[in-house]
Structure 1
């Protein structure tokens, strides 16, 4: 009996294996039949029940599909969604066809080794597309320009056997992930012609990459390329047409490198001599940078484009620079070769209009780097400028110590290194040198010996009045101190008397001006819709906060010291958000007034962009609308640009829609959502109207109107919309660069028009209706992209009810309103720009829906200087009439000088000068 039972069990198990095997084979055949049905034209011999006999299909001995090879077959159509059920698939070759639609997930195809999808018309990528591909060696998806923006997934780290990754012209966004420690065999990485941003990941240093193509990113990769110096296996490097900056690193260890493309970036500093000695190098491009120093001398066998007219070399041919130029470039090198120095320090004579340099005759006598935001160290090479008399390095972020070599400058009279981060011992300077070192908390202890040590009132100064021994004369110090106190008291009394006199005369004689309020109790009053800013922003650097100011909108130059103070030195704890052009910080003044400070990164724009920036300020200060956040002021600090706005305390629309449970925000009612949507539409419509009024810079391309191209990020600076009736919510208008809001034409070709904004607005409407984010990777694949899913919902009006945010629970009247807004959202997100309405249409649709909730009093609207019930042309004319802006275009066209922005608003403190902010 036992033998019979054992035989029966074996039979059952064998039957189960055969059954499962047959079922799996049937699965492969079913999926291959779906593939045949979805492709057009179907390959001629793809018939019959056994796909292993079809052309281009290979199977293993058990009949499982292992390879699909359909390259260059002129195929169109799409791919089935369950392609990843071909679990034995090793090779997928579909390149050089016209296959379109979504790319199905290949997740968990653990046997898949090679994927060729390049040169097709795919439109989207699943977030889990490359998950679990543990055997993947070659992946190629280049030349798929119609793909919606996607990110290189972190899941790719699971593909530890990866050798080749090609994804050029595949519309990849975001940053390059720091995954390269996971790929010990990776040799080729090609990501050209995408929209990657950020810096090169540090893990590249440990990789075995030989071919690195990152050229021609839309916005441009940035930062240094120092990591290349550790990539000893490099053969070919294409980094051209980006925004890389800093110096070219020492590549002497990259002895296999034969092709180096660095043109059209923002490189500064000297070309390292080691670059000319690389034994394999045959091709190099360096033009259209700001490289400095001697012209590099490459061997005759190297094809090189130096761009001697587009860089800042000291001569047009190889050879040493003037000794003073060499010394100054070493000084710049210790600071990291700042861009503003590279743009000015051209030629071989530093006495020919070099910025921050003053000469007497042919000798450099003054270096004034004060308040430039420089980082780095103080170069000992300064000692080679033997005629130097004054050296000002104050109010920067310099570290390290004061070089001892500076004590040998026989002509030196003044050295100011105050307010840095210097450390170490203070050198012994001669008695005739005035030395200032205050504000360096970690600098060495003060010495009572020698001329360089004794500190007076914490200022660490020495003066010619010191005794020969270096010890101050007690009598002279005492008498000098008494005299100084007497003078200070007299000056103080005079100043106080003058201030009281000015306050009295202003109070009794100044006539009220429309739309302006005098500052009271140290606070700047609200004017024409601009929120108040404490007067310390106007006069802090002068040390006098008692001046009564008249606030002139955003024409307020604010010192970098004040902005550092109110943002706690730009603390990471104060970061409100990050954008492509910089970081936004929250600031709080001493009276509790909150502001938002947009700090544009130093690599974004150089000195040559100063006039454009100032012309923008001239426009932004005139832009007024009750739904736009006000620009309060600006700061130009060296190569840095900062803008100050009123702060919106109640968070963003996204926080109220998506994060209400986490952030304890109450969910928005439908009434609130529609009202916000109308305010957004009115705000954006107003911006579009300004664009139509030709508020553009003459020196920019015609497409770069106020809402155009590289000025988009600058528009977003003030493109926050305030919600009626309480004006407390800030709502991002979701401009083109925001991931998940890309209009098709922007995603494929980078074109930016007002219709891109309309598309983005349609996405915001969908978010308001559904309470869902534009891109939600936690949702199933067919529902993760809001626009694609919601447009399918709109096909049948009965489906809308199921898509509505569950917190709304609409009644019949509200449901009809939601349907109208849903229809508008569909029109706004039409694929073809010509099929999308203008923003004015959105205002017309939403206006009647809000009309039933409109407050009976319109006083608040009128107080902003804009009657939103006027048509736009009437509003523009009224604005120009009230503000005298009919000549604004002439002002802009003459903005090539700094006079396009008043250096001081009316009533501005005379002691606050331009150097405080530059």
Structure 2
């Protein structure tokens, strides 16, 4: 189709179709401005998707004519200005305007959208402080995504405590700060998902997390949290599937929950300062892990053989620690393993033969910078799916072939 012709005739095409309730022009090559498209005449629209085009300019005030609109997707265009052009759309339930060039603070009239349940304004240039934004008054919100902006976010999330329906909060790459006056209030929400990854300055775990019991996904990476491993967070949330704590300032031992956690599938505590030994029962307490990354810490001692109990584990990274002794023979019981990185430790002995017999799915094996020895290639000849193999800086002997 000639999209230039389509764009030039778009107004003529849709003007007669005043009965339309649902319209999707997602990724259709639309260009020009929203003012040019004739959309404001389609007063019966309930759903409109014009995402992933090259529409530009500000949001026209005539969008207020679309009084029946419940879902609006303008994501991934070149929209500028602010959101004030949408403040009259009081029946709107879903608004996706991420990946544009919106600027300024959020207009106070945004609180007029009392039916709004899902809002995504990620990847714009929106400024201001969450504490003074209209978001704190939008009590119908269930999903709020504000990542990749210039919003100041208090780590307590206290401005959102009245949003009792909120289930998902995503705020990657916003500046996070610690409030000078601590809050003793308890949030009204019970989140399923929280992403507070960004750049912060050495806070402790926010208190509101101690009152969350329905979390499925938690990402608190890159905000320089200090304190110990939050085993309480795992204990309190039996449905937790993913926990990401990478690149913080956490220290102390790697603590297990009181009881085995049957749903945790991804755990990333890399780039912290955890020390001591890996608990010997780690495999029994996290039997459903799919990926485990505890690299770049200060863990020492032997690698527990209970890793072999993790029959679902596909990715294991223990690199850049101070682990010693031999690689456990039980590693060969991890039949699902695809990637194994044990590099930059103090491991000794030979590669266990059972590893080559049991881990036939292995594609990436990294054992460099240890003190491993003995013949090597006779031990891995069965690993026919290997794509990358790093054995440098060890004491292996024998021929390549």
- Which consecutive residues of structure 1, in runs of 5 or more, have no partner in the other structure? 1-39, 320-918
1:196 to 274, 278, 287: 274
> Residue 117 of structure 1 contacts residue 140 of structure 1 at CA under 8 Å; is this kept in 2?
yes
Which structure has greater strand proportion?
Answer: 2
Q: How does 1:222-371 map to 2 (within 5 A)?
A: 222-250=301-329, 251-277=331-357, 278-297=359-378, 298=380, 299=383, 301-302=385-386, 303-307=388-392, 310-313=393-396, 315-317=397-399
Q: How does 1:210-609 map to 2 (within 5 A)?
A: 210-217=290-297, 219-250=298-329, 251-277=331-357, 278-297=359-378, 298=380, 299=383, 301-302=385-386, 303-307=388-392, 310-313=393-396, 315-317=397-399
Which moves more between the two structures, 252-261 or 69-78? 69-78
- Which consecutive residues of structure 2, in runs of 5 or more, have no partner in the other structure? 1-102, 122-134
Correspondence for 2:36: none
Using the TM superposition, give the Cα deviation of residue 257 of structure 1 relative to its aligned residue in structure 2, in angstroms.
0.3
- Given the two structures, how large is their TM-score scaled by the length of structure 1? 0.28
Counterpart CA distance in 1 for 2:109 and 2:323 is: 51
Please state whether the residue corresponding to 1:293 is helix, strand or coil. Answer: strand
Give the 3 Å change call, closer, same or farther, for CA 176–52 of structure 1 in structure 2. farther
Correspondence for 1:181: 259
Q: Deviations over 1:752-808 (max 9, x none)?
A: xxxxxxxxxxxxxxxxxxxxxxxxxxxxxxxxxxxxxxxxxxxxxxxxxxxxxxxxx
Please state whether the residue corresponding to 1:275 is helix, strand or coil. Answer: helix
> Residue 104 of structure 1 contacts residue 129 of structure 1 at CA under 8 Å; is this kept in 2?
no
Q: Deviations over 1:58-82 (max 9, x none)?
A: 99xx954322211222323535535
Does residue 167 of the first structure (1) align with residue 245 of the second (2)? yes
Using the TM superposition, give the Cα deviation of residue 202 of structure 1 relative to its aligned residue in structure 2, in angstroms.
3.7
Does residue 130 of the first structure (1) align with residue 209 of the second (2)? yes
> Residue 107 of structure 1 contacts residue 133 of structure 1 at CA under 8 Å; is this kept in 2?
no
Please state whether the residue corresponding to 1:276 is helix, strand or coil. Answer: helix
Counterpart CA distance in 2 for 1:45 and 1:272 is: 64
Which structure has greater helix proportion?
Answer: 1
Does residue 56 of the first structure (1) align with residue 139 of the second (2)? no
Q: How does 1:91-102 map to 2 (within 5 A)?
A: 91-101=168-178
Give the 3 Å change call, closer, same or farther, for CA 269–160 of structure 1 in structure 2. same
Does residue 69 of the first structure (1) align with residue 145 of the second (2)? yes
Give the 3 Å change call, closer, same or farther, for CA 65–301 of structure 1 in structure 2. closer
Using the TM superposition, give the Cα deviation of residue 148 of structure 1 relative to its aligned residue in structure 2, in angstroms.
4.7
> Residue 294 of structure 1 contacts residue 318 of structure 1 at CA under 8 Å; is this kept in 2?
no
Counterpart CA distance in 2 for 1:114 and 1:106 is: 20
> Residue 46 of structure 1 contacts residue 54 of structure 1 at CA under 8 Å; is this kept in 2?
no
- Given the two structures, how large is their TM-score scaled by the length of structure 2? 0.60
> Residue 286 of structure 1 contacts residue 306 of structure 1 at CA under 8 Å; is this kept in 2?
yes
Please state whether the residue corresponding to 2:332 is helix, strand or coil. Answer: coil
Using the TM superposition, give the Cα deviation of residue 230 of structure 1 relative to its aligned residue in structure 2, in angstroms.
1.4
> Residue 266 of structure 2 contacts residue 291 of structure 2 at CA under 8 Å; is this kept in 1?
yes
Counterpart CA distance in 2 for 1:105 and 1:122 is: 21
Counterpart CA distance in 2 for 1:77 and 1:110 is: 17
Please state whether the residue corresponding to 1:131 is helix, strand or coil. Answer: helix
Give the 3 Å change call, closer, same or farther, for CA 48–135 of structure 1 in structure 2. closer
Using the TM superposition, give the Cα deviation of residue 51 of structure 1 relative to its aligned residue in structure 2, in angstroms.
5.7
> Residue 41 of structure 1 contacts residue 76 of structure 1 at CA under 8 Å; is this kept in 2?
no
> Residue 76 of structure 1 contacts residue 97 of structure 1 at CA under 8 Å; is this kept in 2?
yes
Counterpart CA distance in 2 for 1:180 and 1:257 is: 27
Please state whether the residue corresponding to 2:347 is helix, strand or coil. Answer: strand
Counterpart CA distance in 2 for 1:127 and 1:273 is: 46
Using the TM superposition, give the Cα deviation of residue 214 of structure 1 relative to its aligned residue in structure 2, in angstroms.
0.7
Using the TM superposition, give the Cα deviation of residue 253 of structure 1 relative to its aligned residue in structure 2, in angstroms.
1.6
Using the TM superposition, give the Cα deviation of residue 42 of structure 1 relative to its aligned residue in structure 2, in angstroms.
2.6
Counterpart CA distance in 1 for 2:256 and 2:236 is: 13
> Residue 166 of structure 2 contacts residue 191 of structure 2 at CA under 8 Å; is this kept in 1?
yes
Correspondence for 2:77: none
Q: Deviations over 1:19-39 (max 9, x none)?
A: xxxxxxxxxxxxxxxxxxxxx
> Residue 291 of structure 2 contacts residue 315 of structure 2 at CA under 8 Å; is this kept in 1?
yes
Using the TM superposition, give the Cα deviation of residue 160 of structure 1 relative to its aligned residue in structure 2, in angstroms.
0.6
Q: Deviations over 1:596-624 (max 9, x none)?
A: xxxxxxxxxxxxxxxxxxxxxxxxxxxxx
Larger Rg: 1
Counterpart CA distance in 1 for 2:246 and 2:385 is: 30
Correspondence for 1:150: 227
Please state whether the residue corresponding to 2:354 is helix, strand or coil. Answer: helix
Counterpart CA distance in 1 for 2:148 and 2:114 is: 20
Give the 3 Å change call, closer, same or farther, for CA 95–104 of structure 1 in structure 2. farther
Correspondence for 1:677: none
The size of the alignment, in residue pairs, is 272
Counterpart CA distance in 2 for 1:186 and 1:129 is: 21
Using the TM superposition, give the Cα deviation of residue 133 of structure 1 relative to its aligned residue in structure 2, in angstroms.
1.6
Counterpart CA distance in 2 for 1:149 and 1:129 is: 16
Q: Deviations over 1:179-213 (max 9, x none)?
A: 17342111000111111112222442222101001
CA RMSD of aligned residues (A): 3.2
